[in-house]
Amino acid sequence: MSIVLLVASTDEHLREMVRENLLNISGARVASEYAEVSSNLYIRVLQDLERHPDAAIFVDLAGDPEASLKALEKVKQAAPDLYVIAANYAVDVESVVHAVRAGANDFLSLPLRRTEFRDAITRLEKTPRRASTGASRLARIYTFLGAKGGVGTTTMAVNFAASLAQQKQQTVLLDIDWNANDVAMHLGAAPQYTLSEVAENLSRMDQSLFEGFVARDPLGFFFVGPPDNFDHRGYFTEPMFREFSTFLVEKYDSVVIDAGRDVSSEITLTALHSSSAVFLVTTQDYPAIRNSQRYLSFLFRLGFTQDQVRILVNFHQKKTGASLASIEQIQTTLNQPVFYGIPSSPAVLASVNKGRPFVGGGEPAGDLERSFRAFVDKATQRKSDDLKKTA
Ligand SMILES: Nc1ncnc2c1ncn2[C@@H]1O[C@H](COP(=O)(O)OP(=O)(O)OP(=O)(O)O)[C@@H](O)[C@H]1O
Ligand SMILES: [Mg+2]
């Protein structure tokens, strides 16, 4: 039988050990790693279970025991059939009982010993399992991260949200790029309310309140971003983002995030950790490719897999001179497939100047719009299948 494991641990070394130990067991592999064991772990777990309904999870409770037990409890509530192997340095009766109460099916002591781990996998193999899907009605979070400034991150996020809204998905576009704060500008809007007001109202947030005060694009999606005043940035903290994003994934079909390019921000990191897919937007010029390399290795260290981080080449040109790399060269350099290339087109600037997305502009679709729609279809394939199934 094949064994698919999700691994949650703040300890990079332990995640690596689990991965290596599984390599020695035929048919076993790690499908996803989470470098955080926190309250929104269940969001990513549910998203991964859609892809791997037979997966089990290995949860390291040693980082922050209280928070990780709570995280495990939430995971188990969201996916009651999920098989959980908990691990901890503390192996006293109380710690084990707490782990079991939080939902652990098996318990391993740390540091991890090869034979004990193998035995746990054998027990997992022997346990009849039910597929752990079904519970997830959560939104997918699609995060756009720029490998450099000006590569079109906002353009991609805005048109992605617009395309989803046109497919009648309940969509929220979130701008967390405090430096650029340009989603509203791309949409020709100057919203009255921002993430500051979201922060102020978080404790009483519900869908009607949210939809009552954030801006709504004529295409039907909601959008909200930072206040224009840099002095106000401290009012929206990472725990607030966590709470807000949990509200969003529970109430909407899709959340699209313009993350800009600042991966040192706590909010961006949490956004990345909650995402079902991260699109690393880049171009064919060498500085952008070099930066993509840095971003990719950073994301892989955070536990993202190749499947979750997708390279999106914007301003794509087939003819490459000395200063531009071809798609093949980019793939070789990054050691990762390019997910999609969006052509360079004067229609983009025209649309930004009009303050409207280029998709659904009412004019006959050109190459750019066709290409972008094909990208959206590829990026959301699973989702549209799910919607058909549940319709
Ligand atoms: N495929 C494209 N073809 C032609 N122009 C494009 C394309 N994509 C984006 N642009 C143009 O490039 C400029 C930068 O785009 P955008 O604001 O989306 O980039 P960004 O990465 O979000 O920038 P910033 O770092 O300022 O946030 C805009 O003027 C936009 O019209
Ligand atoms: Mg931008």
**Residue 335: HSE in the Cβ half-sphere, 13 Å Cα cutoff:** 6
Nearest to 33 by CA among 241, 273, 266: 273
Ligand 1: which residues within 6 Å by Cβ?
146, 149-155, 177, 180, 182, 260, 314-315, 342, 344-345, 348-349, 352
Query: What's the angle, vertex CA 130, arms to CA 124 and CA 136, rounded to 5?
Result: 115
Ligand nearest to the CA of 156: 1
> From ligand 2's centre to the CA of 243, what distance in Å?
24
Average pLDDT of the chain is 90
Nearest to 78 by CA among 42, 24, 44, 122: 42
> From ligand 1's centre to the CA of 91, what distance in Å?
54
pLDDT for the residue 201: 93
Ligand nearest to the CA of 152: 1
> From ligand 1's centre to the CA of 153, what distance in Å?
7
* CB 63 within 8 Å of CB 9: yes
Per-residue pLDDT of the chain (391 residues; tens, 9 = 90+): 689 999 999 999 999 999 999 988 888 999 889 988 988 899 889 888 877 888 999 999 999 989 999 999 999 988 999 999 999 999 899 999 999 999 999 999 999 999 999 999 999 999 887 666 545 578 899 999 999 999 999 999 999 999 999 999 999 999 999 999 999 999 999 999 999 999 999 999 999 999 999 999 999 999 999 998 777 767 889 889 988 998 999 899 999 999 999 999 999 998 998 888 999 999 999 999 999 999 999 998 887 888 889 999 999 999 888 889 999 999 999 999 999 999 999 999 999 999 999 997 666 668 899 999 999 999 998 544 444 333 3
What's the per-residue H, E or C state across the chain? CCEEEEEECCCHHHHHHHHHHHHCCCCEEEEEEECCCCCCHHHHHHHHHHHCCCCEEEEECCCCHHHHHHHHHHHHHHCCCCCEEEEECCCCHHHHHHHHHHCCCEEEECCCCHHHHHHHHHHHHHCCCCCCCCCCCCCEEEEEEECCCCCCHHHHHHHHHHHHHHCCCCEEEEECCCCCCCHHHHCCCCCCCCHHHHHHHHHHCCHHHHHHHCEECCCCCEEECCCCCHHHHHHCCHHHHHHHHHHHHHHCCEEEEECCCCCCCHHHHHHHHHCCEEEEEECCEHHHHHHHHHHHHHHHHCCCCCCCEEEEEEEECCCCCCCECCHHHHHHHHCCCEEEEEECCHHHHHHHHHCCCCCCCCCCCCHHHHHHHHHHHHHHHHHHHHHHHHC
> From ligand 1's centre to the CA of 272, what distance in Å?
21
> Does this chain's domain 3-126 share its CATH topology with 140-390?
yes
Separation between Cα atoms, residue 230 and residue 326, nearest integer Å? 39
Nearest-atom index, ligand 1, CA of 316: 1
Nearest to 80 by CA among 38, 137, 135: 135
Pocket test of ligand 1: the residue of 155, 183, 312, 372 to mutate, having most ligand atoms within 8 Å of its CB, is 155
Domain positions in the chain: 3-126, 140-390
Query: What's the angle, vertex CA 88, arms to CA 85 and CA 89, rounded to 5?
Result: 150
> From ligand 2's centre to the CA of 19, what distance in Å?
36
* CB 268 within 8 Å of CB 260: yes
> From ligand 1's centre to the CA of 68, what distance in Å?
40
User: For residue 256, what are the β-bridge partners?
Assistant: 142, 173
Ligand nearest to the CA of 358: 1
Alpha carbon nearest to ligand 1 atom 31, residue: 349
Largest Cα span, the chain: 68
Q: How far is CA 84 from CA 10, 107, 274, in A?
A: 17, 9, 20
Alpha carbon nearest to ligand 1 atom 12, residue: 152
| Long-range contact pairs involving 13-16 (C-beta distance under 8 Å, separation at least 24) | 14/60, 14/87, 14/110, 14/112, 15/303
pLDDT for the residue 362: 63
Residue at token pair 């350099």: 333
* CB 82 within 8 Å of CB 76: yes
Pocket test of ligand 1: the residue of 173, 348, 351 to mutate, having most ligand atoms within 8 Å of its CB, is 348
Ligand nearest to the CA of 149: 1
> From ligand 1's centre to the CA of 79, what distance in Å?
40
Topology classification of domain 3-126:
Rossmann fold (3.40.50)
Alpha carbon nearest to ligand 1 atom 16, residue: 152
pLDDT for the residue 250: 87
CATH number of 140-390: 3.40.50.300
